[in-house]
């Protein structure tokens, strides 16, 4: 993945997740933290492999739409 695309995806995820509830962020961690739930949500996003970023962005987008964001 192009580095600029990766940065845009990471920034989008961080911004979107900041608008989610604590429970929603916890679920995201369970899905993407590789078992290390002590990581901050920012660290989880930064460590995500490129191939998971697009799917994660779709999930966050759908969650925000359901919340009316």
How far apart CA 68 and CA 53 sit, in angstroms, is 22
Q: Each residue of 41-65: pLDDT tens digit? A: 999 999 999 999 999 999 999 999 9
Q: What φ, ψ does residue 37 adopt, rounded to 5°?
A: -75, -5
Write out pLDDT tens, residues 23-42: 999 999 999 999 999 999 99
pLDDT score for 33: 96
Q: Check pLDDT > 90 for residue 1.
A: no
B/e letters for 21-40, b = 16+ CB within 10 Å, e = fewer, are eeebbeebbeebbeeeeebe
pTM recorded for the entire structure: 0.92
pLDDT digits (tens, 9 = 90+) for 5-19: 999 999 999 999 999
């Amino acid at each position: 993945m192009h580095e600029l695309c990766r940065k845009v995806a990471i920034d989008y995820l961080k911004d979107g997740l900041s608008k989610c509830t604590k429970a929603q962020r916890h679920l995201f961690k369970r899905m993407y933290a590789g078992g290390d739930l002590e990581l901050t949500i920012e660290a989880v996003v930064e460590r995500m492999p490129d191939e998971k970023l697009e799917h994660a962005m779709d999930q966050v987008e759908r969650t925000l739409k359901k919340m009316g964001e």
